[in-house]
Each structure stands twice: as C-alpha cells, then as structure tokens.
C-alpha cells in the first residue's frame, strides 16, 4: 500500500477505482481497514481514497491534524475536489474541511457523528478514558467491542469480534488514543453548522451506543441542506458489519 509523509510520519493510504474522487475518513480507531467491506462496491463507480489517522501527536488538536492530512493527500494526488464520508470522529474532521476549504468538497456523508457533545457523550467518553488509563489498550479494546458492535453480531460472529479486538490491541497506542478522545470531548461546532451548505446525508443507526441516533438527528437539524437516514441494526460499526445495508443508503445520495 502506498504511503504519504505527513510531518515526519509515513501514513498508508488507499487509492482504488476510477471516477469522481470519494474520500473515506475513519473514526477514533483511525484505520482505513474499517472501510474494507464497502470499498469494492464503491470503487466500481468512484476513485476511492482513504487513509489512516496520524499515530504521532504533532499538534494539540487531533481533529485539525487529520483535516490537514486529508488536504495533504488531495494535493499530493492532484485531486481538486471530492465527495467525502466521515464516520464518527471522521465527522468533525469533515466539518473542519467543509468550513475551512468548502471549495474542495462536493457531497458530504456524516455517518454516526455529531456537531458537539452532550452529557451522555461526555459520560461515555469519560468512562472510555478511565478504562484506557486503568486497564490499558487491552482492556480498552475489550470494552470497545461491546459499544461498537451490535450484541446480535457479537453473538452470531464471535470470531469477527475477536479479530477486531486483536487488531485494535495491535494497532493502538494509549497516548494517541487519549489525545484523540480529548480532542473529541473538546470539539463543538454546533453554532457553525449552518455555514455548511453542501448537500449532506446524515446516517444514524439504531442501537448505536457510541453516537446514539439523537445526536445524528440533531446534526441533521443544524445543517441547512441535509437529508437524514436512520438505519436498523449494525450499531456504531454499521459500515463494517452490514456493508450491503450501508451501501444501499450511501450510493443513491453520492450518485445523485
């Protein structure tokens, strides 16, 4: 897989398919592997780009760092404009891009994401930070599975849950995760959402414990040109656990 150097770190990226450029931004875990199940379907119609989050803490705001990395990749590949999908933490990254470089984006998809934290969100991420601090990456990964996978999927596909848990342990760093979660908790752009006038699709998923549907609904209400789709099943990792269902929601909007 090719890499791009970003502030001294070589970061892997994906460049697959032909057609209009479509960038996929993963969430807190920061790995483009999250999109593995939907890339083949999307690359039939789009030039699909994705990349890992930086693993080096290079500036105070991890969300802005990722936005800067996306712009660096677009410039590196001579892509003047793209549609973009932001999952979870990827949503604030996309919001920053839409606010600072609106001319670089076409259509926007916000998947299981938010405009700012509420008390549920603060409690949930405060607990995740506490688990990471007390039990380390291994304990964090075990707890994370229970909130990102649906109970039905864990019961029906225990091997997949175990594989993702092991991948999280192998690819995570406690300092970097802490840096990202603190950025997530500090982020709020609710008062600026009206400035994002691009066509937007907001996806909420029933049973999502990380970003409950009420947070996605609130984001859709704040955006002036947004469509809301509420999907059943799959939890926070809908795109990975039910790729066909996710693509069915995504593709009509991206191709319209």
The pTM score is: 0.96
Where, residue-wise, is CATH 3.40.50.1820 in the chain?
3-117+190-255
Q: Where are the alpha helices (DSSP H) in the chain?
A: 39-42, 62-76, 90-100, 119-148, 151-156, 158-171, 174-186, 213-222, 238-241, 243-255
Query: What pLDDT shows up at residue 29?
Result: 87
Cα dihedral: 147, 149, 151, 156 (round 10) = -160
- Residue 125: pLDDT over 90: yes
Query: What pLDDT shows up at residue 55?
Result: 80
Alpha-carbon distance 209 to 151, whole Å?
11
- Residue 40: pLDDT over 80: yes
Report yes or no: 112 and 210 within 8 Å, Cβ to Cβ: yes
CB 256: neighbour CB atoms within 10 A? 9
In the chain, % of residues over pLDDT 70 = 98
- Residue 256: pLDDT over 90: no
SS3 label, residue 240: helix
pLDDT in tens, 217-250: 999 999 999 999 999 988 999 999 999 999 999 9
pLDDT in tens, 161-220: 999 999 999 999 999 999 999 999 999 999 999 999 999 999 999 999 999 999 999 999
- Topology given in CATH for the domain delimited by 3-117+190-255: Rossmann fold (3.40.50)
């Amino acid at each position: 897989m090719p890499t791009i150097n970003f502030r001294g770190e070589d970061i892997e990226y994906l460049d697959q398919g032909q057609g209009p450029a479509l960038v996929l931004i993963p969430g807190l875990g920061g790995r483009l592997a999250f999109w593995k199940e939907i890339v083949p379907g999307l690359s039939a119609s789009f030039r699909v780009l994705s990349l890992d989050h930086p693993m080096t803490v290079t500036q105070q705001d991890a969300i802005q760092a990722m936005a800067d990395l996306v712009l660096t990749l677009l410039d590196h590949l001579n892509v003047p404009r793209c549609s973009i999908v932001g999952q979870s933490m990827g949503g604030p990254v996309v919001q920053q891009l839409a606010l600072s470089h609106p001319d670089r984006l076409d259509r926007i998809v916000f998947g299981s994401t938010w405009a700012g934290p509420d008390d549920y969100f603060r409690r949930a991420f405060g607990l995740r930070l506490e688990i990471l601090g007390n039990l380390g990456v291994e304990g964090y990964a075990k707890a994370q599975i229970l909130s990102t996978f649906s109970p039905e999927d864990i019961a029906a596909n225990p091997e997949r849950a175990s594989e993702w848990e092991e991948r999280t342990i192998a690819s995570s760093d406690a300092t970097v995760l802490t840096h990202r979660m603190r950025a997530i908790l500090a982020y709020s752009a609710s008062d600026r959402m009206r400035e994002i006038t691009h066509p937007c699709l907001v996806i909420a998923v029933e049973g999502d414990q990380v970003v409950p549907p009420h947070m996605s609904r609130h984001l859709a209400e704040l955006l002036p040109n947004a469509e809301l789709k509420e999907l059943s099943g799959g939890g926070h990792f809908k795109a990975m656990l039910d790729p066909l269902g996710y693509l069915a929601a995504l593709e009509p909007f991206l191709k319209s």
